[in-house]
Amino acid sequence: MNHWLMKSEPSVFGIDDLARAPRRRTLWDGVRNYQARNFMRDMRLGDEVFFYHSNCAEPGIAGVMRVVREAYPDPTQFDKNDPHFDPRSKPDDPRWSVVDLEFVKKFDAVVALSKLREVDALETMRILQRGNRLSVTPVSNKHWKKICSLAGEKT
DNA sequence: GCCAACGTTGGC
DNA sequence: GCCAACGTTGGC
């Protein structure tokens, strides 16, 4: 099983929104970056994903979700009324993908970005690198376990 | 193929 | 709100 991290702005869609969603599931739409898309296409059923809150008062990791459907075409790319509409994308040759994710747990407290930066063992994490903007990134087993322990969770 | 201009991300 | 870093676009 592989591990991942996905960013979302809590003012748009945060972990509480996922916990309240029907069947506690959502499709992760609106990704419009090729590298991030390619990572989503590598996700497999059962993979676990950190839910990262970005662009907010306390950026950091808020909890965990799980992949419950592997990549398929993002419906918003074909919807003229959606902000993520992509006129260059054709139904027989879609550019953008989504995966379905299910709520697993919310951490008792957000593991803050500032905290992650203090931990030597996490130095090489992708989201901690300078200028990083990717909204979907892989997380190594070592980093996954470390962050779970920071969150006070057993692995 | 180069690269300047532009739009977006996201921490602070 | 600021601004650095980055990806994309489009003229040449």
d(CA A44, CA A67): 7
Write out pLDDT tens, residues A43-68.
999 999 999 999 999 999 999 999 99
Q: Is the dihedral of CA A108, A112, A117, A122 positive or negative?
A: positive
| Percent of residues, chain A, with pLDDT higher than 90 | 85
Q: Is the CB of A11 under 7 A from strand C?
A: no
- Looking at the structure, give the CATH architecture of the domain made up of residues A3-150: Roll (3.10)
| Percent of residues, chain A, with pLDDT higher than 70 | 99
- Average the pLDDT over A80-106 and give the result: 91
Q: Which residue is nearest to nucleotide C5 (CA to C1')?
A: A131
In this prediction, residue A155 has a pLDDT band, given cuts at 50, 70 and 90, of low
Contact between A61 and A111 under an 8 Å Cβ cutoff? The reply is yes
Q: Exposed, middle or buried: residue A68 (CB in 10 Å: 0-12, 13-18, 19+)?
A: middle
Contact between A144 and A113 under an 8 Å Cβ cutoff? The reply is no
Q: Which residue is nearest to nucleotide C4 (CA to C1')?
A: A131
Q: Which residue is nearest to nucleotide B10 (CA to C1')?
A: A55
For residues A43-64, one letter each, b for 16 or more C-beta atoms within 10 angstroms of the residue's C-beta and e for the rest, the string is: beeebbbbbbbbeeeebbbbbb
The whole-number Å distance from A119's CA to C2's C1' is 28
Q: Which amino acid is at A94?
A: P
pTM of the model: 0.94
Q: Is the CB of A55 under 7 A from strand B?
A: yes
- Does the pLDDT of residue A40 top 90, yes or no? yes
DSSP symbols for A8-29: E-HHHH-HHHHHHSGGGEEE--
- Does the pLDDT of residue A119 top 70, yes or no? yes
Name the DSSP class of A135.
Answer: S
* Shortest-distance nucleotide from A133 CA to C1': B9
C-beta within 7 A of nucleic chain C, residues 35-54 of A? 35
The whole-number Å distance from A151's CA to C2's C1' is 32
